[in-house]
Structure 1
Amino acid sequence: MTMDFVTPLDHLPRRLWDAVIDGDEHAATGAVRRALDDGADPEGVLLDVIAPVQGRVGREWAANRISVAQEHAATAINERAVAAVAGHPAVRTEPTLGRITVACVDGEWHGLPARLLAEVLRLRGWYVDYLGAQVPTPHLVTHIHRTGPDAVALSGSIATRLPTAHATITACQAAGTPVLVGGAAFGPDGRHARLLGADAWAPDARSAADELARRPLPRPRPDHQPMDDLPHLSDQEYTYVARSRPRLVRAVFDGLEAAYPAMRGYDELQREHTAEDLSHIVEFLATALYTDDGELFGEFLLWTAGVLAARGVPASSLLPALELLSRELQEFPRAAGVLRAGSARLTRTPLTTAGTTE
């Protein structure tokens, strides 16, 4: 005869999801507090419950099953759930290991991953300065000069913030502070972290905390020389595309009505969304040129095609825009190559929704 044992975490994911999707902050924070009262591991609540629920929120938005407003409300409730963990009497830990500054790259609005890391590090015994989302590099450097942390943990979810992340990493190292980076922006294998010269990379908050516990990150030497511009940037293609984004978006938008007749029937909101999508395409192209990583652009196209498909817009609608952009950039070989590869990948990859492949 066997007995089924129920742990405090067994039902929490479902209860939190129901509360989040219903917009019920009190139910969400109450469920978290009860689980902690019953002996749930605080780190497990943060990383095995709240983080996956937030990931599901993003996937549900991408699949067009919840609205932007619902996604924002759900994120706010998950932030309150994190605060409920942080404020629970069972999780108070005296800092004994050192000091870490946790911040998001300037322009990065997705602060919850960084907040989760900050709370995990506090649980592990670090003194943590959590600076939140969208931290300008000069303010971050001023902070580390004032507080002298053992390391900066820098979070980035959106790849288009990688050029800014590069400048931030370099500035922190020039101030004598090592930098650990994490988040989707740096690639699932950390390839962009290595390219931009970060001292360490971690795929998730638990791994980041483990990395910092394993060994102190070595401080940059006093004669440390920040990385110069990446060699492939000498062709100035990134600079041109980044600075020309408004003009490129206008040119492609103006040509789309002839290249994609369905656009002639768009209402004002649909046209506005089309302009936003074009701006994102050019911004991701610029980032692919900065990192010399065409795969980054291809992955973005597949994700965008899935989001559009979930909203009833065929993925093929992207191809005329890419062709028009290629014409505008025909004298730029790296940009043209990235666009050709992106179009080919989009054409040959069967899509379902939200960039998932069959």
Structure 2
Amino acid sequence: MTTHTRTSPPALATLRERLWTALEARDEAAAGAAVLGAHDAGTSVEDLLLDVIGPVQARVGVEWATGRIGVAQEHAVTAIQDRVIAALAHRTPSLPAPGGPGGVPESGAAPRRVTVACVDGEWHALPARLLAEVLRGRGFLVDYLGAHVPTPHLIAHLHQTGGDAVALSASLPLRLPTAHAAVTAVQAIGIPVLVGGAAFGPDGRYARLLGADGWAPDARAAATLLADGPRRPENPLRDPAGELPHLSDQEYTLVTRSRTQLIRHVLRELEGAFPAMAAYTERQRERTAEDIAHIVDFLAASLYADDADLFTRFVTWTAGILRARGVPAHALAAALDLLTDAQRDFPRARSHLVAGRRALTRVPAPSAPGSPS
């Protein structure tokens, strides 16, 4: 029987490069050989999932965002990663979940059954899949529901199967409204909810805002938290009010409802403010429309959370991505200015846009060719 110990960081880094090289070539056999060979050599399934496959998938996302790979290639690579995870899953021994007789957990023991799902509209399923496999490896019984699980379907599943906890995943803050609905609905039937993913902020601040019973920054932390709870109602993250009073100003609702008109307005006006658009190809114009749509969507998310930092983080990230694509920074600034003008009757929206515009001035200028980065 192979003994698995924690693999050294340099060895994991080398393994990530091997996997990345295989994925770049869409060589599924080489990808599987790299990961499964490392497991045969003693690297644990959990280390392979979280320290190799997960970081490589994050790199795939960066390559897609900067335009260095296309959507089809990203999908192909993700599918290979998913099949490699499945191969690893077959090597995970079936461990009894901690608990007492009859499948009822003892006091303080980990829940026997956890449902893992992505919130409605969230298609980035791989982080949730990684968590599900980590939990299985640690002895939990796991119902993994995958990507884009509408809240009514999730609740129907829980009524049929029961369970001790739900773990919800979301990668984009755009999913905060649907995540809020899911958290509230699951808690209403008496099941605690743990949330995770980049959507909930770098410190879990939006988990607190939405009243989740717990938040974890990564799969290892989530597994530890689920082993100890979460338990209701003793929960420091829970907001007893469960409401977001700032939404009473209707700005989130109105911006969301006018989304299409705002995108068309900014795209039309940007042609005058940014003359270089006259030479854009059809594909470049489509990408510009997509970028404007993302700006509007993240503005809406920041209004829902009442957090201008959410919007400024997106703006500064977008500036870096556009720079990698060769789009000048003043094009983004012009789009923000046009959107600000269109929000003259919405003080919160204007303040978030102004904060984003100000953040652009703090984005480092690109290095000159040959200069140190």
TM over 0.5: yes
Counterpart of 2:167 in structure 1 is 153
Amino acid at match of 1:77: I
Matched to 2:301, the amino acid is T
Alignment match of 1:57 (pick from 60, 64, 84): 60
- What is aligned with 2:101? none
The answer to whether the Cα contact below 8 Å between 2:167 and 2:194 also exists between their aligned partners in 1 is yes
Counterpart in 2 of 1:272? 286
Contiguous gaps of at least 5 residues in structure 2:
1-5, 99-109, 368-372
Residue correspondences, number: 347
Tell whether the 8 Å contact from 2:117 to 2:145 is kept in structure 1 after alignment: yes
- Confirm whether residue 185 of structure 1 aligns to residue 188 of structure 2: no
Closer, same or farther in 2 for the Cα pair 1:267/1:210, shift >3 Å?
same
Whether the 8 Å contact between 2:211 and 2:242 is mirrored in structure 1 is no
**Secondary structure at 1:135 match in 2:** coil
CA contact (8 A) 1:64 1:311 kept: yes
Partner of 2:48: 45
Name the SS for the 2:148 alignment partner.
coil
Q: Which has the higher contact order (CA 8 A, sep 6+)?
A: 1
My pick for the range that moved more, 253-262 or 157-166, is 253-262
For 1:13, which of 10, 13, 16 is the aligned residue?
A: 16
Matched residue, 1:29:
32
- Percent identical pairs in the alignment equals 60
Q: Give the match's secondary structure for 1:283.
A: helix
CA distance in 1, matches of 2:200, 2:28: 32
Whichever residue aligns with residue 236 of structure 1, its letter is Q
> What are the equivalent positions in structure 2 for 1:221-232 lying under 5 Å apart?
227=241, 229-232=243-246
**Equivalent of 2:327, from 291, 307, 313?**
313
Amino acid at match of 2:52: V
**Separation (CA, whole Å) in 2 of partners of 1:13 and 1:101:** 29
Report the alpha carbon displacement of residue 323 of structure 1 after superposing the two structures with TM: 1.2
Query: Which consecutive unaligned segments of at least 5 residues does structure 1 have?
Result: 1-5
Partner of 2:103: none
Following the alignment from structure 1 to structure 2, what is the Cα–Cα distance between the partners of residues 250 and 334? 22
Tell me the residue number matched to 1:3.
none
Secondary structure of 2:115 counterpart: strand
Deviation at 1:177, TM superposition (A): 0.9
Query: Contact conserved, 1:109 with 1:134, CA < 8 A, in 2?
Result: yes
Equivalent residue letter for 2:33: G
In 1, Cα distance between equivalents of 2:47 and 2:366: 32
**More deviation, 38-47/326-335:** 38-47
1:322: which partner in 2?
A: 336
Q: TM-score, normalization: structure 2?
A: 0.87
Report the residue type matching 1:22 in the other structure: A
Whether the aligned pair in 2 keeps the contact of 1:173 and 1:220 (CA below 8 Å) is: no
1:320 Cα offset (Å): 1.4
Q: Relative to structure 1, is the Cα distance of residues 321 and 7 closer, same or farther in structure 2, using a 3 angstrom cutoff?
A: closer
Match of 2:269 in 1: 255
Shift of 1:54: 1.1
